[in-house]
Amino acid sequence: MHRLIQSLARLTALAGGFVLIVLIVLTSLSIIGRSVNKLLHNDFFQQKMTGFSQALLDLGIGEINGSYELLEAGVAFSIFSFLPLCQLYGSHATVDVFTAALPLRANRWIAAFWEIVLALVLLLIIWRLYEGMQRYMGNGETTLFLQFPVWWAYAASFAAGVVTCIVAAYCAVMRLLEAVQNHSILPSEHGEH
C-alpha cells in the first residue's frame, strides 16, 4: 500500500512540476514579448526603423494573451499537486520549540493528532473546491481572454486535491499507528524510515 501511495504522490508532483515549468516558459515569453513590443514602439524604432519595427509588430510580437489566466489556473493545480508528496514526507512547516524537549512517544502522538486535523482540513478544502467547481459548471462562466470555462481550472485542482486527500488519510492512519506502536512507519523529509 505504501508504494502505491508513494507512487501516486510522486506522479502528482511530477505533473505539477511539468505544469510549473510550462508556466515559467509561458510567463517568460510573455514578458519578453511585452518588452520587445514596448521597445519597438519606442521613438527610435518608430522614426528610424519604421518598416522593420512594423514588420516585427505585424508578426504579433507582444504579450501572450491570456497568460495571466493560464498562470492562475496552473499555479493552483501545481500547489495541489505538490501537497501529497509534502504530506507523505511530513515536509510541512513545523515549529517544535516546545515539543523538541518532549520524549519521542509524546511527539508521535502530537504528530498523529495534527496529521488527523490536517487530513480533515484538507477534506474540507477539497469539498469546498468541489462545490465551487459545481457552481462554475452550472453558470457557464468563462475566462476573459481565452474564453475557457472557469470550472476547468477547478477540476484540475480538484483532481490533484483528491490525491492529496487520499495521501492525507493514509498518513493520518499511519501516524496514528506510529504513535500506538511507538516506531516509524512513514518516511521523513530527512530520509529516515
pLDDT < 70: residue spans in the chain: 189-193
pTM of this prediction exceeds 0.95: no
Give residue 65's pLDDT.
Answer: 92
For residue 16, the tally of other CB atoms under 10 A from its CB is: 22
Residue corresponding to grid cell 459545481 = 134
SS (H, E, C) the chain: CHHHHHHHHHHHHHHHHHHHHHHHHHHHHHHHHHHHHHHHCCHHHHHHCHHHHHHHHHCCCCCCCCHHHHHHHHHHHHHHHHHHHHHHCCCCCCCCCCCCCCCHHHHHHHHHHHHHHHHHHHHHHHHHHHHHHHHHHHHCCECCCCCCECHHHHHHHHHHHHHHHHHHHHHHHHHHHHHHHCCCCCCCCCCCC
Q: Which of 48, 49, 188 has the alpha carbon at shortest distance from 107? A: 188
Question: Residue 146 is which amino acid?
Answer: L
Give residue 49's pLDDT.
Answer: 87
Q: What angle, 0 to 180 degrees and rounded to 10, lies between the N-to-C axes of helices 104-139 and 67-88?
A: 150
Give residue 54's pLDDT.
Answer: 87
Give residue 45's pLDDT.
Answer: 86
Residue corresponding to grid cell 500506538 = 180
